[in-house]
Amino acid sequence: MSCSILEQAHAGDVNDVREIVLQGGGPDVTSRLAEPGTTVAAMVRPWGSTGAWTTLTATVLNAARRVIAVSLGGTGGWLSTATAGTYEMKYVVTFADGTVLTWPTGDPDRIDVVD
């Protein structure tokens, strides 16, 4: 499965958000996203890195459409201190029952950060 290329971001920006549609994961994902106690996080790191992931805040924006909103960081957050380059991104959903699913299931999404 190929990755999605997200809209370019600018290094140093604050309060930048990307909306992501979670594809697949089974038919019950839509209803489970709306359950109280379900949490979402986004993870980012330099493209091709095997190093640690940086956790970004994410929220369910529209459970029926499986849309999440990923914050690229406020003042002092990831994007405000990121250097120009290509980064990989994935999304982790922990459902109320403790089940964890990660998107995408293939290659991670890509986001390019420019100066």
As given in the structure block, the two tokens for residue 99 are 């089940």
Taken in order of first residue, the domains within the chain and their CATH numbers are 9-114 (2.60.40)
- Over residues 6-34, the pLDDT tens digits come to 889 999 888 899 999 998 888 789 999 99
- Over residues 43-66, the pLDDT tens digits come to 999 999 999 999 999 999 999 999
pTM of the model: 0.91
Buried b / exposed e over 43-67, threshold 16 CB at 10 Å, is bbbeeeeeeebbebbbebbebeebe
User: CB–CB of 95/14 below 8 Å?
Assistant: no
